[in-house]
Amino acid sequence: MKIPFTDLGGEGSTLCFLHANGYPPECYLPLLNALKPQHRVLAMHQRPLWPNAKPEEVSDWHPLSADFLRFLDEQGLERVSVLGHSMGGIAALRAALQQPERFRALILLDPVLFPPGFILLWNLVRLIGLGYALHPLIPAAQKRRRTFDDLDRPFNAYRQRPTFRYMNDDALWAYLRGITQPNGESGYTLRYSPEWETRIYYTSVWRDFDLWRGLPKLKLATLVLRGAETDTFLPLTAWLVRRFNPRIQMQTLAHTTHLLPLEAPAQVADYILCFLDRFAHQATE
């Protein structure tokens, strides 16, 4: 089976997008559509969205990068720019560290990169068998509602949740339509299963020492955008990334969280387009 993807079209050089855990590519349409005037945007569907893929086949996030490199092979893509959010940012970063010659530029949106000390702690938690119990996001993922009679009711409920406080109505509708699909009867079904979402959370982080070892060697033009109120790409991580590799550019966006590409799509798109345009001009000088 070839890896599925969404071709959003657009003009210019190819920009590959990798989504976050629980967030299919359609959740990001306000951002991705804003990139299309200058780039052809391809959004690869990561493993949890593949038909017949099994969560138990994944024990860490390394296969996600291997999937992305295979996707580039299948599509005959070389020297592409890659944009990844959260889990997608880590898949993109690891792929770029493994095969940097395949890429032109790297943009990471609040990637799930934690300090080495946190990785050690998470390994200990897993070792004593408490990973599922202590991961802060797993209980909610396990209880995720799977079906909806209509989308108006969940929209009104989500509108009241603090998680979505910085999303405007258009972004929230894009998110809701992105996570669901008509079920052929009279309602909607969740596209991204709770089993997959839980498994991705559980298998995160613990094998990420390779990322810290590779960061000092990363010469690819790289931009990191983080939310000022993120609970994921922490200030300590930002400081360490700068220490490990001062070449990496970094911006913090006010009034955003880990969900910054959904909360501030126009602002995020401006940063991405300016970065890629500046990089393209530097490459031709």
101: domain CATH number is 3.40.50.1820
What is the tens place of the pLDDT at every residue in 55-81?
999 999 999 999 999 999 999 999 999
pTM above 0.75, yes or no: yes
Q: Which of 172-176, 180-184, 194-198, 231-235 has the lowest mean pLDDT?
A: 180-184
Domains in the chain: how many in total?
1
Question: Which of 248, 227, 276, 267 minimizes the C-alpha distance to 34?
Answer: 267
Q: Domain containing 233: what range?
A: 5-284
What is the tens place of the pLDDT at every residue in 138-188?
999 999 999 999 999 999 999 999 999 999 999 999 999 999 999 887 799
Question: DSSP per residue over the chain, as a string?
Answer: -PPPEEEEE-SSEEEEEEPPTT--GGGGHHHHHHHTTTEEEEEEPPGGGSTT--GGG-SSSHHHHHHHHHHHHHHT--SEEEEEETHHHHHHHHHHHH-GGGEEEEEEES-----HHHHHHHHHHHHTT-HHHH-TTHHHHHT---EES-SHHHHHHHHTSGGGTT--HHHHHHHHHHHEEE-SSSSEEESS-HHHHHHHHHTSSTTTHHHHHHGGG--SEEEEEEETT-SSS-HHHHHHHHHH-TTSEEEEETT--TTHHHHSHHHHHHHHHHHHHHHHHHHH-
